[in-house]
Amino acid sequence: MPKLIITENPEKWKITAEGATVISPSEYFSKPEYQDKGAFKIVNLCRSHQYQSLGYYVSLLAEARSHKVIPEITTLQDFRFPSLIKDDAEEFDALIQNSLKSVTEAKISINIFFGQVDDTQFSKLGILLFNLFQVPIIQATFSKKEKWQLHTLKPLHLKDLNDGAFNKLQEALHFYITGKRIVRKQYSRKKYDLALMINPDDPYPPSGPQALQKIIAAADKLGFNTEIITKNDFGKLVQFDALFIRETTNVNHHTYRFAKKAEAEGLVVFDDPGSILRCTNKVYLHELLVANKIPVPESYIIRKDAPVVPSHFGYPLVIKQPDGSFSKGVKKVANESELKDTLKELFQKSELLIAQQFMPTTYDWRVGIMNGKPLYVCKYYMAQNHWQIINWKQANEPKDGKSETLAVEDAPKALIDMALKATLLIGKGLYGVDIKENDGKFYVIEINDNPNIDAGVEDKVLKGALYTKIMETFIERLEE
């Protein structure tokens, strides 16, 4: 996607950035080639972003044309209300205190260029402020009385920079435009930019290192430049055409913010925020499946103010926390005493819980679905001497059972039909449907919006073709 840097008097400032064209506001406003909908990514470096200034209208028209622009109009509006910015700063007070603990002066100003700063001790603070308030050049001023507080936060312009600061801007702009984790020598032959989001500290990610490399290889063949990003790269989303989240998702979590932001910027995103919202809450899923007559194990929603399970359920039974993942927050109770202790523990996190009939099986089916089409079918066997696929109670590390992967055409048709019917209630994202089989009948346990895609398991039948199918779906969405 073409990139534009817009500022008054481009010939005066001599800004250069690989892969970007520098133009004036008047060129952007008037030239027909810049009026295509959704065709450009824009960095607005105009002198003023005040209401009805040239800079304001650059961002306003960019959004009207569905171009991806930094800063956005909503960000510019935030700067009109300094008290709101100071309120936001309270949420990262610990980082402010830690970053500035060695500063001896009572006041300090830090210039932030696309998240980068001159002094590395302020790096985390610079990244965070840029992620929250996405303006190319920001000056953050902090003052100290009893503790450090954000005094002012204001945008800067090129004219405010000395030679050293201007050089820092050029460097930061280069990294922002091109991306700092990939080599761009062949950039011109690539059509799209893909952000592959991971959590490098997750011991149990949905895709391990081998699978990530296969995703990158498939993306490369289909015309993507791929960059691995983390939760610290929120401010860079505007650079990409697509986002593939390979990190465990949740609503009250940065993955949901990333998905929402990506969708708002017009990126193709898996998992989309709607799917995250629906799939990560088991209470919602239960009601949705029951309302649409999709078979599920007999279940009952328990309220904190009425913690009673129907007497006919019997024991053992399963108690589920609404937003658990990877079988966490799912407890099996064998008697009334265990039930009481489990409810007390889980009600600390949620007003509602689910009690579910315990349905013992030696394995669970998992059907992978993307864009309304089956991708893979697996049998996940229970961990040794345990009732779940993953035994989280292992002393050293969680242990999981063995797995078996089938070709989609070799799986029971009723299984595939049920998985497709269930996921169509959610959307056309990437899902893993967990299903139990009992006496020849199938029951949906849950729908996962962030299913495992791992080397040697889910890709055992299709091998590299699995990753190609996934990336082909991204291409289809981008070219719709």
Q: Give the confidence band of 196 by pLDDT, cuts at 50, 70, 90.
A: very high
Q: Looking at domain 82-169, which of 3.30.420, 2.50.20, 3.30.110, 3.30.470 is its CATH number?
A: 3.30.470
More confident site: 368 or 120: 368
Look up the CATH number of domain 3-77: 3.40.250
Mean pLDDT of 225-245: 89
Predicted pLDDT of residue 182: 34
Q: The CATH number of 361-464+471-478 is which of 3.40.50.740, 3.40.50.300, 3.40.50.2300, 3.30.470.20?
A: 3.30.470.20
Instruction: Check residues 53 and 442 and name the one with the higher pLDDT.
Output: 442
Report DSSP letters for 83-137, one per residue.
HHHHHHHGGGHHHHHHHTTT--SSEEEEEEETTB-SSGGGHHHHHHHHHHS--SE
Pull the structure tokens for residue 21.
């064209």
Task: Give me the DSSP letters along 27-81.
Answer: HHHH-GGG-STT--EEEE--S--STTSHHHHHHHHHHHTT-EEES-HHHHHHTT-
Share of the chain above pLDDT 70, in %: 89
Output the pLDDT for position 86: 60
Contacts of residue 465, defined as CB under 8 A and 6 or more positions apart, other chains included, come to: none
Judge whether residue 385 has pLDDT over 70.
Answer: no
| Fold of the CATH domain 180-272 | Rossmann fold (3.40.50)
The pLDDT of residue 230 is above 80: yes
pLDDT tens track for 37-88: 667 889 999 988 787 788 888 998 888 888 888 998 877 776 766 665 666 5
Q: Where in the chain is the domain with CATH 3.30.1490.20?
A: 298-357
| Residue 179: band (very low, low, confident or very high) from pLDDT cuts 50, 70, 90 | low
* Mean pLDDT estimate for the chain: 85
- Give residue-wise pLDDT tens across range 33-49: 888 766 788 999 998 87
- Section 235-243 average pLDDT: 88
3-state secondary structure of 428: coil
Determine the Cα–Cα distance for residues 311 and 367; give it in Å rounded to an integer.
33
The confidence score (pLDDT) of residue 244 equals 97
- The residues of the chain that CATH labels 3.40.250 are 3-77
pLDDT value, residue 183: 34
| Threshold 0.75, pTM exceeds | no
Determine the topology of domain 298-357 in CATH. Answer: Dna Ligase; domain 1 (3.30.1490)
How much is the average pLDDT of 423-431? 95
